[in-house]
Amino acid sequence: MKLPAILVLTLAMAVTACGGRDRDITLSRIKNTGNGPEEFNIVPGKPLQAPDSYSTLPAPTPGGTNITDPTPRGDGVAALGGNPAALANTGIGQADGGLVNYANRFGVVPGIRQTLAREDVEIRRQRGRVNILNIGRNDDYNLAYRRQWLDSNAEATRLRRIGVPTPSYPPDAGRR
């Protein structure tokens, strides 16, 4: 009597494992598994334009930009009604000086972006090999960073214990 029950249970689990194929989690897969071109890397060039005056053209700069060079970020900002010139890196804006000084009050780690990029690659390399046999779907991002996830309930409890107000978190049931 026990063997048929185990067999039925195993068969039911195998059938339910086949379901759920409609979920699209391609954005959480880090690897490009296709053998075609990356469609987001192909940006068409702008049409050629004749200048207003050929005598007032600036001198060409090797490696410089051209008015026909594609600027997808700037074009997207302009299409949404923004100012594409705001994307130009002109340093720290006048309105942001106080914020930057406040953020730098304890010092700055030089090259933090490069350090974080290296650490990210290392974490994904170490933890991305969990599913060695490639059984089932792979979610490399979640596998790599699962240990670093923040438990919001535990963090809210910890902050409340030390007296930090947490107004956006649901009220403590014991305080009612």
Q: Which long-range contacts (CB under 8 A, 24 or more apart) does 108-117 make?
A: none
Tokens of 24: 């699209």
Tokens of 159: 């902050």
Closest to 31 measured CA to CA, from 113, 144, 150? 144
Q: Quote the Cα angle for 21-23-25, to 5°.
A: 120
| pLDDT tens sequence across 11-50 | 877 777 666 555 555 556 666 666 766 666 676 777 888 8
| pLDDT tens sequence across 141-151 | 776 777 788 88
d(CA 113, CA 109): 9
| pLDDT tens sequence across 68-114 | 788 888 888 999 999 988 888 778 878 888 998 998 899 888 888 89
Q: What is the pTM of this model?
A: 0.31
Helical H segments across 80-134, by residue range: 97-103, 112-127
**Residue 145: partners with Cβ closer than 8 Å, 6 or more residues away:** 123, 127
Amino acid sitting at position 28: S
Residue 128 backbone dihedrals phi, psi, to 5 degrees: -80, -5
DSSP state of 136: S
SS3 (DSSP) at 67:
coil
